[in-house]
Amino acid sequence: MESHLEMPKPFRNNAYALTALLLSPALAAETVATLRCAIHRGGVAWGEVLRHANQHFCSPLLYVRLREHGLLEALPAELAIYLRYLHAANWERNEEFRSTLVAVLRIAEELGIECMLLKGGATFCACLYGDLGARMMGDLDLLVSKEDAVRLQREIIARRGGRELGRGEKDRRLFSEEFEHYHLPRLLPAQGPVDIEIHWEIGSGQVRRGLPAAIMWQRREAMALDGVAVFLPDPTCRLLHVTLHALLPHREYIRSSLALAHLAEFSALRHKYHDSIQWDEWLAAGTAAGVRSQFTLLRELETSLADRRDHGQADRPRLSTLAGRERLLAAGALIGHGPEPASPCENMRKKVILFWIGIFYWQKVPGWIWNNYCYLKGCRSLPRRFYLMTNWILRRLVFPRRKREAKT
């Protein structure tokens, strides 16, 4: 019955795209049947899929999605055991994150400080994945007012121990006055894996212009975690936060490096809150940040990779969007520490793709620097912005190169 089913080309030839598909919460029954058929025929390169899942910190979520779609029993036995072990270990780790979060929220409640949970912390209240062990956590991010941030961090240290992780101060001559810190130094615990970052904004530069903290506070939703009052951003702001962090902070989009963890969270939010997300406001925020076309590309990419068939978009993607999608898919398949291509043709193809990605990066990086490191409002700030841009290029590109040449 299923012998005629065949994987579509992007997923058949690209392990990055296939991993994104397997992480989707929205697979149709026909797609699940196609995947099961491909697995039984040995048509899935599980080594490559697992490499991408591990590099993008998605292996526990991969286990959860395979279980949801009834595909676990079709996996090779050793792979199923490995994924089950990772999921169980991550569940235990996240239980510690959750208990630490509740303790910190109780401290904030005693001090009369209102807290908003960001990113992974928000999933503890909203049950985004329906499984405590699905999402891998790096730290706990809390949003408070700037006036309360230092007071809360000092009280956490006084009660729970730990120390602040010193951060290297940037040379302020290279950055505008508006490109400033948006959180306190990371708080390392006295024991355990739970690091804490206390924010008053979610980012700098274009990220802040796309989603200011004031907007998140205006559109907050009251929740409770183990009886402790806390706030979450509304679904549109949560989707905006994920989108901005997927594209901008470390030049992810222009580096053609789109993390599957971000793409999976985008897909999960879109799936759970499809009736609540205000897409016009989401796109308007991308316009305010100067990345409207990147927002459109990310949504179109997620639509195709997540097997989403109810998005209701009749318009054909623009040529630039299609080209951007192919670039991100090609980069996702190649960037990392995978095995070297076996044939000269494959090796040449890899070099051509990496050259294409490099050309795109160096074409776009001046604009990113101009809109982030050198950004200042108003036409009168143009001389200052040109000075910052010139200074950045000289100090980061010209002088370091001369130092390297002198050493050699």
- The larger pLDDT score, comparing residue 360 to residue 402, is at 360
Residue 42 gets the label, from left (phi > 0), alpha (psi -120 to 50) or beta, of left
Is residue 155 within 8 Å of 115, Cβ to Cβ? no
* Average confidence (pLDDT) over 344-353: 82
State the pLDDT at residue 309: 65
198 forms beta bridges with: 142
State the pLDDT at residue 125: 87
Question: Per mean pLDDT, which of 238-247, 306-315, 369-378 is the most reliable?
Answer: 238-247
Spatial distance between the Cα atoms of 405 and 312, rounded to a whole number of angstroms: 56
* Average confidence (pLDDT) over 179-201: 89
* Average confidence (pLDDT) over 362-388: 90
How many residues appear in the chain? 408
Average pLDDT, the chain: 88
- The larger pLDDT score, comparing residue 12 to residue 30, is at 30
Q: Residue 65: pLDDT above 90?
A: yes
Segment among 72-81, 307-316, 369-378 with least mean pLDDT:
307-316
Spatial distance between the Cα atoms of 233 and 231, rounded to a whole number of angstroms: 7
Instruction: Give me 219's structure tokens.
Output: 């559109």
- The larger pLDDT score, comparing residue 114 to residue 9, is at 114
State the pLDDT at residue 26: 87
Q: Residue 407: pLDDT above 60?
A: no
Q: Helix H segments across 254-336? A: 260-272, 279-288, 292-305, 319-334
State the pLDDT at residue 24: 95
Q: Residue 1: pLDDT above 50?
A: no
Nearest to 269 by CA among 130, 118, 128, 61: 128
221 forms beta bridges with: 232
Q: Residue 392: pLDDT above 70?
A: yes
Instruction: Give me 285's structure tokens.
Output: 């925020």
Instruction: Give me 297's structure tokens.
Output: 């590309």
Q: Residue 406: pLDDT above 70?
A: no
State the pLDDT at residue 2: 41
Segment among 212-216, 341-345, 352-356 with least mean pLDDT:
341-345
Write the secondary structure of 185-251 as one string of H (helix), E (strand) and C (coil): CCEECCCCCCCEEEECCCCCCHHHHHCCHHHHHHCEEEEEECCEEEEEECHHHHHHHHHHHHHCCCC
Spatial distance between the Cα atoms of 133 and 383, rounded to a whole number of angstroms: 51
Spatial distance between the Cα atoms of 56 and 304, rounded to a whole number of angstroms: 19
Q: What are the pLDDT digits (tens) for 163-172?
A: 898 765 566 6
Nearest to 19 by CA among 42, 48, 60: 48
Dihedral, CA atoms, 9, 12, 13, 16, nearest 10 degrees?
A: 110
* Average confidence (pLDDT) over 8-18: 81
State the pLDDT at residue 315: 55
Residue in the structure block whose two tokens are 């294409």:
356
Q: Helix, strand, or coil here: 143?
A: strand
Q: Which residues of 315-333 are buried (b: 16+ CB within 10 A; e: fewer)?
A: eebeeebeebbebbbbbbb
Q: Residue 85: pLDDT above 60?
A: yes
Q: Going by DSSP bridges, is the β-strand pair 187-188/163-164 parallel, antiparallel, or unpaired?
A: antiparallel
Is residue 82 within 8 Å of 49, Cβ to Cβ? no
Q: Residue 10: pLDDT above 80?
A: no
The sign one gets for the Cα dihedral 68, 70, 76, 78 is positive
Q: What are the pLDDT digits (tens) for 252-268?
A: 999 999 999 999 999 99
* Average confidence (pLDDT) over 27-31: 90
State the pLDDT at residue 6: 60
Nearest to 302 by CA among 15, 26, 14: 26
Q: What are the pLDDT digits (tens) for 228-286?
A: 999 999 999 999 999 999 999 999 999 999 999 999 999 999 999 999 999 999 999 99
What separation in angstroms does the CA of 329 have from each of 136, 143, 346? 23, 33, 16
Instruction: Give me 159's structure tokens.
Output: 């009660």
State the pLDDT at residue 112: 96
Helix axes 260-272, 235-247, angle to 10 degrees: 160
Domains of the chain (ranges plus CATH)? 9-375 (3.30.460.40)
- Whole-number percent of the chain with pLDDT over 70: 89
Spatial distance between the Cα atoms of 153 and 369, rounded to a whole number of angstroms: 32
Segment among 50-54, 303-307, 359-363 with least mean pLDDT:
303-307
Q: What are the pLDDT digits (tens) for 91-149?
A: 999 999 999 999 999 999 999 999 999 999 998 888 899 999 999 999 999 999 999 99
- The larger pLDDT score, comparing residue 306 to residue 400, is at 306
What separation in angstroms does the CA of 385 have from each of 26, 149, 400? 45, 31, 22
Backbone phi, psi, residue 228, to 5°: -100, 130
